[in-house]
Amino acid sequence: MSDYLTYTPEEFATDDYFIHWVLSTDLEAETFWQNWLDVYPFKRSDVETARQLVLTANQLPEPAVSETEIAALKQSVFDRIDANESPKTVVRTLFSRWYWAAAVLAGLVGLGGWYLVTQQRANKAEYAQLVKQATEKYDLVEVENQTKPTRLIVLPDGSSVLLKKGSKLSYPTYFSRSVREIYLSGEAFFEIAKDPNRPFFVFANEIVTKVLGTSFNVKAFPDDKRIQITVKTGKVSVYETKSPEAAQQAKNRRLEGLVLNPGQEVVFSKEADQMEANVVSHTVPMVSPKKSGTIQEMAFEYDETPVSEIFSQLEKTYTIRIDYDHALLGNCPVTASLTDEPLYEKLKLTCRAIRAQYEIVNGEVVVTGKGCN
């Protein structure tokens, strides 16, 4: 299977299976691409651009076909028939490489304005202003959760976000080499991949939170009278920002501002225009792997724990499905401290402990291994 994660819009637009999805009503293709986008939402911008390119290219007239190409096509069809294979994809295979490449180039001219417009969707209040400014530097992806209690988002650097209902998040398709910046309206829980050379910033209306690698919760709905940041692990620093311009000034790698440690939170009152730090009642660890609780309360600490229990906890916490051979792997013991790790790092370290591997297939986590005996 192609490594779609590295594809550009132009590469998507000349891929046979992608073109088939855009131009057909194939349920299998629709299921594959929608599941893939659920796992990698930061590629939605590229996919939508490519989809428009394919639709535009499809309006162009079909090219003339030479006698030599017709003869080659016939032979390919006969070969497929002899092998009991369907010949319906042969025409696309023979001509798509040069015809669709030319058509995509033609479509790019007409779609330039459309692409810029789709990157500048505005909402309201400070979030819209921050996002508008960010589009001058980045191509942004916006994800909105209006239906699920939480929605899992995996960012380009491997950080994981659980976006709460009624919230939206905007982030670049690719983070820069020096800084990672995202924009939140609503509530989300973050597990940030460690990268000391690229501090991570969450801009949430009047407040900006800076971290180097930690887990924390931000609650910043536009109609609420206060903004709340709660730290689970690591440290964060919180700044008040009066404008998008001021929010861009805290770019050094030191933790300044109001520094919060695990078990602390800061509440910013919009009416009083001030921040107040508090100690929260639930500190980590509080809930064992066998019990239920919110991710803020969860402790991903394991001592000779069967991997089946770990996978079950990850499924419930991140609303994902993990497929594996229960008889072969389920009882493999794992000893690990994963509380301060994003989802994909949790999966990688867990699989390493039982000498297994994982991959994302059709929106599900598939774990394979030879067992631990």
- List where CATH 3.55.50.30 sits in the chain: 301-369
Higher-pLDDT residue of 284, 39: 39
Nearest to 13 by CA among 108, 113, 119: 108
As a whole number of angstroms, the distance between CA 35 and CA 68 comes to 41
What amino acid is encoded at 8 in this protein? Answer: T
Work out the pLDDT band at 138, boundaries 50, 70, 90: confident
Give burial (CB, 10 Å; 0-12/13-18/19+) of 94. middle
Residue 86 has a pLDDT of: 39
Residue 111 has a pLDDT of: 47
As a whole number of angstroms, the distance between CA 226 and CA 240 comes to 12
Q: Which residues pair with 188 in a beta bridge?
A: 163, 218
Residue 89 has a pLDDT of: 39
- List where CATH 2.60.120.1440 sits in the chain: 125-279
Q: Of 57-66, 210-219, 357-366, which range is least confident?
A: 57-66
Q: How many CB atoms lie within 10 A of CB 21?
A: 22
As a whole number of angstroms, the distance between CA 197 and CA 178 comes to 7
Q: How many CB atoms lie within 10 A of CB 27?
A: 8
Task: Please compute the mean of the pLDDT values over residues 342-355 and round it to a whole number.
Answer: 91
- Statement: residue 183 has pLDDT above 90: yes
User: Was domain 125-279 assigned CATH 1.10.3720.10?
Assistant: no
Residue 318 has a pLDDT of: 85
Q: Please, what sign has the CA dihedral across residues 2, 345, 258, 282?
A: positive
As a whole number of angstroms, the distance between CA 42 and CA 348 comes to 21
Higher-pLDDT residue of 148, 81: 148
Q: What is the domain class of 301-369 according to CATH?
A: alpha beta
**Residue carrying the six token digits 């500190």:** 283
Cα Rg of the chain (Å, integer): 24
As a whole number of angstroms, the distance between CA 304 and CA 279 comes to 32
- Statement: residue 26 has pLDDT above 50: yes
Task: Please compute the mean of the pLDDT values over residues 158-170 and round it to a whole number.
Answer: 93
Residue 125, SS3 per DSSP: helix
The token pair at 357 is 């591997």
Task: Please compute the mean of the pLDDT values over residues 149-163 and round it to a whole number.
Answer: 91
Q: Of 107-121, 152-166, 178-192, 235-249, which range is least confident?
A: 107-121
- Statement: residue 163 has pLDDT above 60: yes
- Statement: residue 350 has pLDDT above 90: yes
Mean pLDDT of the chain: 76
Higher-pLDDT residue of 35, 82: 35
Residue 297 has a pLDDT of: 63
Task: Please compute the mean of the pLDDT values over residues 131-155 and round it to a whole number.
Answer: 89
Higher-pLDDT residue of 96, 71: 71
Residue 75 has a pLDDT of: 56
Q: With DSSP H G I counted as helix, E B as strand and the rest as coil, what are the percentages for the chain, rounded to 5?
A: 35, 30, 35
Residue 322 has a pLDDT of: 92
**In this predicted model, what pLDDT tens digit does every residue of 257-281 receive, in sequence order?**
688 888 888 888 888 878 887 776 5
Residue 60 has a pLDDT of: 53
- Statement: residue 90 has pLDDT above 50: no
